Structure 1
Amino acid sequence: MGMVSVLFDLSGTLIWPEPSGETLFCEACQLVGFQVSPGDLLKVAADVDKEIDIPLPIMRSQEADFFAYGNMITLQKLQHKATISHGWFIYHYIKDRIHFHKFYDVDRVLSFLKRGGLVLGLVSNSVPSTRERLTALRLDHYFDTVVLSGEVGYEKPDPRIFEIALQNLSLNPEESVYVGDSYHIDVEGAHGAGITPVLLDRAGKHRDVDCIRVKNLMEFQELMRIFK
């Protein structure tokens, strides 16, 4: 199998937040009198996604409104009497405190893959301002294409977002591998686009899966010797 390209997910694969968005959300809620746990957020996440249903793509000027509205809907789904003012407070609380970091193996492995002549891409369910985060973390120079759902109008696991990345790189699906940390969003999405998926399972939560699984990017680097 001759692979010439590796596409990556972003959050949970290449970067991680500190503190987590869920932790900060719960802290902000407590400050305005709402008791919310990370488990509560997980319970209503799917319903919130359906309720928001804001058409993509999202303009940069709309990002704050998008998150504030989503915060309000989340609280309402949890039976709290929340207003858009609460949503805005939570948005600013999180924005002012969250910091993103690269995983320890990211620079080493991405540099290795680039030196080996592989074409690299990023496919992420993210808003347009994510490009600024990539620049701040010095990740942008690794990628030959960056495809964000907030810009192109499709979200993983929709195969079309992967197909856009392939079109940008003038590649066929069988020439690419996709690495991500979510089975449903990343593995099933890539498979639907005809791309070989690799599940990055840093926490060891997915031991029985019907796809290639690696524990870290160093292990993926060794795997690429087989693909090439």
Structure 2
Amino acid sequence: MIHEITTIGFDADDTLWHNEHYFRLTEKRFADLLKDHAEQDHLTERLLEAERRNLGHYGYGVKGFVLSMIETAIEVTEDKVPARVIREIIEAGQDMLAHPIDLLPHAQEAVEAAAQTHRIVLITKGDLLDQERKLAQSGLGDLFSGVEIVSEKTPPVYARIFADHGDGPEKAMMVGNSMKSDVRPSIDAGGWGVYVPHGLSWELEHAEPPTGHPRYREIADLGALVALLQQD
């Protein structure tokens, strides 16, 4: 039952603050740099293929994205990409790493309210330094009883985190915008999964919702989280 939950995990990117928007803008910048070598749709497909191949090498985050863009640029130009283009790709990545944090609607109120009644943990993937920077700039850091920056979100990872920071997955809930990384693995670990849709989502984070599962919920935005937590 929801009222038995003692620990709440929050995803970070595109759950608490904007993230995918900046990746999309950088992709457009990337496409413009290489418009003489590949159509945008083709370039997007090649970049996604590179990102998928490179996840095991670079993990999630801006740095892996930049390396995948450089690799794609080399491929589509048949090793003829100008140094100027490589430099601009690197500068685009540096701009992303320096971008101010923009909280999503209701994020601060939801985290503050949850922190008054539950133990809350930030559980996120990505580059360690970048995620630490974003959390520090968000102003939410002091509200969390724990912060976990992991290489992948799997059922064993959630089971371990909810055991370390709470009373186990059976009394825990994960709140996030990714069905693949936030909702399904938390449920598979024995916990609850709450899906908060975001207008933009990375292709590699898509998964089918566990419709009908008793521990699955969907809310329109974080403004509905408090009411959900008060349900019997």
Could you tell me the TM-score, scaled by structure 1's length? 0.77
In the alignment, the residues of structure 2 paired with residue 165 and residue 39 of structure 1 have an alpha-carbon distance, to the nearest angstrom, of 40
CA drift at 1:222: 0.4
Q: Using the TM superposition, give the Cα deviation of residue 96 of structure 1 relative to its aligned residue in structure 2, in angstroms.
A: 1.8
Percent identity of the aligned residues? Answer: 14
For residues 42 and 180 of structure 1, the distance between their equivalents in structure 2, rounded to whole angstroms, comes to: 26
Instruction: Give distance in 2, aligned partners of 1:161 and 1:195.
Output: 12
Match of 2:17 in 1: 15
2:164 corresponds to which of 147, 163, 168: 168
- Distance in 2, matches of 1:49 and 1:172, equals 32
Secondary structure at the counterpart of residue 156 of structure 2: helix
Secondary structure of the 1:187 match is helix
Q: CA deviation at 1:179?
A: 0.7
Q: Report the counterpart of residue 142 of structure 2 in structure 1.
A: 141
1:52-131 → structure 2 map (5 Å cutoff): 52-54=55-57, 66-75=64-73, 79-81=76-78, 86=85, 89-96=88-95, 98-116=99-117, 118-129=118-129, 130-131=131-132
SS at match of 2:128: coil
CA positional deviation for 1:144: 1.2
1:212 match: 217
CA distance in 2, matches of 1:7, 1:114: 11
Equivalences, count: 215
Unaligned runs of 5+ in 2: 202-206
- Normalization by structure 2: what TM-score? 0.76
Q: Which amino acid in the other structure matches residue 29 of structure 2?
A: E
Deviation track 1:108-161 (CA, whole Å, cap 9, x = no partner) reads 111111122x10011111110111210111121121111112xxxx412x2233
Stretches of structure 1 lacking an aligned partner (at least 5 in a row):
none
Q: 1:45 Cα deviation (Å)? A: 2.3
The one-letter code of the counterpart of 2:152 is E
Q: 1:155 maps to which residue?
A: 152
Whether contact under 8 Å (1:126, 1:148) holds in the other structure is: yes
1:18–1:166 distance in 2 versus 1, CA, 3 Å = closer
Task: Specify the SS of the correspondent of 1:212.
Answer: strand
Pair 1:204–1:70, CA change in 2 (3 A): closer
Task: Tell me how far apart the structure 1 counterparts of residues 110 and 71 of structure 2 sit (CA, whole Å).
Answer: 39
